[in-house]
Amino acid sequence: MRFAWVLVAMLLSAWPAGAQEVGACDWRASAWNLAEPWEENSRTFSNGAVRLAVLDTIEPGAVPFNLLVLSPPYDELGVRQCRIISFSDGIGFAGITFSRLSASYDPAIGLSFEVPVMIYLAEEEFANSALLRFSLNQATGEIGAAMVPGPE
């Protein structure tokens, strides 16, 4: 069991710098990619100003899940920013346990979230759980994301 944790730590530290990519919404943010049932895969925060939702793009087959973030700041038309959090460029997660999403607020940081995810590295034929942690500053729109090893 100790060896498994060492392996997980080594693989997590070897992930490319682009891992946990936060990018502008693209085709993945289409309404037809919202994971169903919607009421179990979407939540609002900050009096409805922030919405998180699981996206299931079906492909790539082993890693189709991404996280949608709709949040302030608003543009000149009153539209929230739209961002997607994925494992890396074009690669989602093997799973997102949205029912275990937790949130907190710190005035110095903004909203902070933590959600269990499954990662899959095809080259290494490796899958494991991890915790995706990300923060959202509603004033600036900045989203910072990081991943830590999860339980086996």
Instruction: State phi, psi for 22 to the nearest 5 degrees.
Output: -110, 120
Q: What is the pLDDT of residues 29-75, one digit of tens each?
A: 999 999 999 999 999 999 999 999 999 999 988 999 999 999 999 99
69-87 pLDDT tens trace: 999 999 999 999 999 999 9
Supply the DSSP string of 107-141, one letter for each residue: TTTEEEEEEEEEEEETTTTEEEEEEEEEEE-TTT-
Structure tokens at 123: 């080259």
Q: What is the pLDDT of residue 19?
A: 57
Neighbours of 74 (CB within 10 A): 13
Q: Looking only at Cα atoms, what is the longest distance across the chain?
A: 54
Q: What is the mean pLDDT of residues 121-130?
A: 84
Q: Give the per-residue pLDDT at 16.
A: 43
